[in-house]
Amino acid sequence: MLTVSNYHYIRLDFKTKYPSIFGLTPNEFRQQLNLLKNQGNFIHPNDLVSDLNAILQSKDNNLLITFDDGLKEQFDLALPILDELGIPAVFFVNSINLEEKKVSNVHKIHLLRSIISASEFLDKFIDMPFSRLEKKNAREIYRYDDEKSAALKYILNFKLDFKQQEQVVNSLFDLHFDENVILDSLYMTEQNLIELADKGYLGSHTHSHYPLGLLGADSIKTELEKTKIYLDKLTGSNINIVSYPYGTPESCTDLVAHLAKKTGHEIGFTTKRGVNTLNENPLLLNRFDCNDLTGGKNYK
């Protein structure tokens, strides 16, 4: 069987005016890895591709560490700890940040929410009905957020189309941040990606960080292909593992998995919680948020 622990932000502290960016400090990350070491065997991403069935059908608890979004702090703060402990990992990156020199909308939202409250965001900048079912879905998807923050995230990510979302977010972002400064400070460099690929640690998180299942087939294929082509050419590698942005059922449909396979991917990860066995589609594997596993903030 395979248990996957997923991470995003690894920072020395998370002090902002409004809580919006959550993650672990390096010490918390190290502590959790040491606890996980007692619960199973860490596997290398290359072994996952070459020997997936054996890993999934094994009675041993195989563990995989993953990171989404290609953040510089993952390379600078998390990778040295992994290397020190002898633990492999896979880092999933978006190509839009380096290829087009753009900050992903999801990170623009995180940054804006760190200086603007969720209530103000909803009251002043978004006027949209929100049903009881949508409130329930928002609470389930964004279980670590308060009700207002969950509602805001759900509306931005699942109710607004991309043009509407970008209109709201980009105008605000440009008022408060310098995109070039954020690009340099937030994301890994191309050299970082080359070094990760040399270790066999690099994967795709698609091009634009869109929820793929909400797109048409041609757009899904483009999002998958663009990043694979970019990373393969940059690193001289065959990047064949992908994690899908948001990872929810809406964004990880059977069509998404089918197109991921057609575009040369062999392994795909959602954010559906659960241990993986042979019952899973290799292109729709489960992942736990790190907070749900031993040593995590929500582990019981």
Task: List the CATH number of the domain containing 95.
Answer: 3.20.20.370
pLDDT at 208 (0 to 100): 96
Give per-residue pLDDT as tens, 87-113: 999 999 999 999 999 999 999 989 998
Number of domains in the chain: 2
Distance, in Å, from the CA atom of 242 to the CA atom of 266, rounded to the nearest integer, reads 8
Give which of 209, 210, 203, 217 is closest to 254, Cα–Cα: 217
Q: Are residues 215 and 126 in the same domain?
A: no
**Bridge partner residues of 192 (DSSP):** none
Is 287 a member of any domain? yes
* Domain extent for 52: 2-100+187-292
Q: Are residues 40 and 83 in the same domain?
A: yes
Is 300 a member of any domain? no
pLDDT at 234 (0 to 100): 98
Distance, in Å, from the CA atom of 256 to the CA atom of 153, rounded to the nearest integer, reads 22
Q: Are residues 269 and 215 in the same domain?
A: yes
Query: To 10 degrees, what angle do helices 179-186 and 105-113 make?
Result: 100
Q: Are residues 61 and 200 in the same domain?
A: yes
Q: Are residues 95 and 210 in the same domain?
A: yes
Give per-residue pLDDT as tens, 38-83: 999 999 999 999 999 999 999 999 999 999 999 999 999 999 999 9
Q: Are residues 6 and 94 in the same domain?
A: yes
Q: Which of 157, 180, 203 is the last residue of a domain?
A: 180
Half-sphere CA count of 101, side-chain side, radius 13 A: 5
Q: Are residues 193 and 283 in the same domain?
A: yes
Distance, in Å, from the CA atom of 220 to the CA atom of 75, rounded to the nearest integer, reads 28
Q: Which of 164, 180, 196 is the last residue of a domain?
A: 180
pTM: 0.91
Is 32 a member of any domain? yes
Is 298 a member of any domain? no
Q: Are residues 152 and 273 in the same domain?
A: no
List the chain pLDDT tens, one digit each, 300 residues.
Answer: 999 999 999 999 988 888 778 899 999 999 999 999 999 999 999 999 999 999 999 999 999 999 999 999 999 999 999 999 999 999 999 999 999 999 999 999 899 989 988 888 887 777 777 788 888 888 888 887 888 888 888 888 788 877 788 888 898 899 899 999 999 999 999 999 999 999 999 999 999 999 999 999 999 999 999 999 999 999 999 999 999 999 999 999 999 999 999 999 999 999 999 999 998 999 999 999 999 999 888 765
Q: Are residues 129 and 144 in the same domain?
A: yes
Q: Are residues 156 and 199 in the same domain?
A: no
Q: Are residues 193 and 279 in the same domain?
A: yes
Q: Which of 158, 180, 202 is the last residue of a domain?
A: 180
| Token couple for 62 | 């195989």
pLDDT at 161 (0 to 100): 77
Distances in whole angstroms, Cα of residue 236 to Cα of each of 36, 38, 94, 200:
33, 36, 17, 12
Q: Are residues 31 and 170 in the same domain?
A: no
